[in-house]
Amino acid sequence: MVSEPGDEMHDLTCLIKGCQARVYAPAGTHSICREHFLSYLTWRRRKGPQMFMKYAGMTMEERDPYVAEWANTIRVEEIPTASAPKT
Ligand SMILES: [Zn+2]
């Protein structure tokens, strides 16, 4: 069995649990889909320009905690979650 040529990313999906979209851009050492990338961008903008500049100079590993923090703010409706959402 030989792997399909030129399609190494075919099984990569979004970092966000429950999101089945294809990856669009890196987020730290992970990857996220276009929709979530835009969401992440907005989230970073809200943190202010300093955060934006700081983030740009970070390594992928240094970005991971921010990605994780942002990911916690994301709700994916498809997830049959056990955790009780704040209402
Ligand atoms: Zn996604």
Residue range 61-83, pLDDT digits in tens: 999 999 999 999 987 665 555 55
C-alpha 74: how far from its chain's center?
9
Please give the model's pTM, rounded to 2 decimal places.
0.72
Q: What is the pLDDT of residue 7?
A: 47
Q: What is the pLDDT of residue 1?
A: 53
Distance 51 CA to ligand 1 centre (A): 22
User: Closest Cα partner for 27 from 18, 15, 39?
Assistant: 15
Q: What are the residue ranges spanned by the domains of the chain?
A: 25-71
Tens of pLDDT, residue by residue over 16-25, are 988 999 999 9
Distance 3 CA to ligand 1 centre (A): 26
Structural contact between residues 41 and 35, judged by C-beta atoms closer than 8 angstroms: no
Q: What is the pLDDT of residue 81?
A: 52
Q: What is the pLDDT of residue 75?
A: 77
Distance 1 CA to ligand 1 centre (A): 31
